[in-house]
Amino acid sequence: AQSVSQHNHHVILSEAASLELGCNYSYGGTVNLFWYVQYPGQHLQLLLKYFSGDPLVKGIKGFEAEFIKSKFSFNLRKPSVQWSDTAEYFCAVNARGNTPLVFGKGTRLSVIA
Amino acid sequence: GAGVSQSPSNKVTEKGKDVELRCDPISGHTALYWYRQSLGQGLEFLIYFQGNSAPDKSGLPSDRFSAERTGGSVSTLTIQRTQQEDSAVYLCASSSGGVGEGSWEQYFGPGTRLTVT
């Protein structure tokens, strides 16, 4: 069965600090990988996705993620966070195609001034 | 066009009552998913519909949960004899359902917050 592990439950950063959120997955086949974000009071939004090709993917709002197949990892990064990045971040994986997503438990990011 | 919509946005019900939650996917999307988001369990898959195929019910937690999708569009998730542990946010997502990578992205609705008292 697929599983997703997010290493950090809650991360607190100052504005302009760099961010890296860890995500590892367990699955025996080829996967799609996603990061979703949920801002306070809002619904899940797609931040970025990886299907195939270049393992370094860029998403919205300056976020990027790198797929490292040998490590089963898909870590999320941003060079300089802003207060508006305060949100909960979910890593998700599914099998290739239109298949259900398996989510990590989420990482809450708090950015302080 | 419009995104995924869900109704009601909030539902409070008494233990033992039945509830119905509705999802309107993005027009033309053939794949529809239900998920549940709760404090203890995080985000969990419940059920998946793809076109006219039999749904994948592998995520339903008990036989009190069922879902249908009429006319390949609107879906209703029904929870019978609700229990307090059913309290959660129920999320619906849809994707265009095609064979190419561009059709695999899932778009989420705002969810229905269910509280069982």
Cα gap A32→B99, rounded to integer Å = 14
Q: Is the pLDDT of residue B63 over 80?
A: yes
Question: B38-49 burial string, b = 16+ CB within 10 Å, else e?
Answer: eeeebbbbbbbb
**Who wins on pLDDT, B5 or B72?**
B5
- Quote the mean pLDDT of chain A: 94
Other CB atoms within 10 A of residue B78 CB:
13
Instruction: Return the pLDDT at A27.
Output: 87
> For chain B, which residues lie within 8 Å of any Cβ of chain A, measuring from their own Cβ?
31, 33, 35, 42-45, 48, 50, 56, 59, 91, 93, 95, 97-99, 101, 103-111
- How far apart CA B75 and CA B70 sit, in angstroms, is 6
Q: Compute how many other C-beta atoms are within 10 angstroms of the C-beta atom of residue B29.
A: 20
pLDDT tens-digit map of B6-16: 999 999 999 99
pLDDT of residue B1: 54
Q: How far apart are CA A69 and CA B26, in angstroms?
A: 33
Of the two residues B104 and B17, the one the predictor is more confident about is: B17
Is residue B70 scored above 90 in pLDDT?
no
Q: How far is CA B15 from the centre of its chain?
A: 20
State residue A29's pLDDT score.
85
Distance, CA of A16 to chain centre: 19
Q: For chain A, give the percent of residues with pLDDT over 70.
A: 100
Confidence at residue A53, expressed as pLDDT on a 0 to 100 scale: 93
Q: Looking at the partner chain, which of B31, B43, B109 has a beta carbon nearest the beta carbon of A103? A: B43
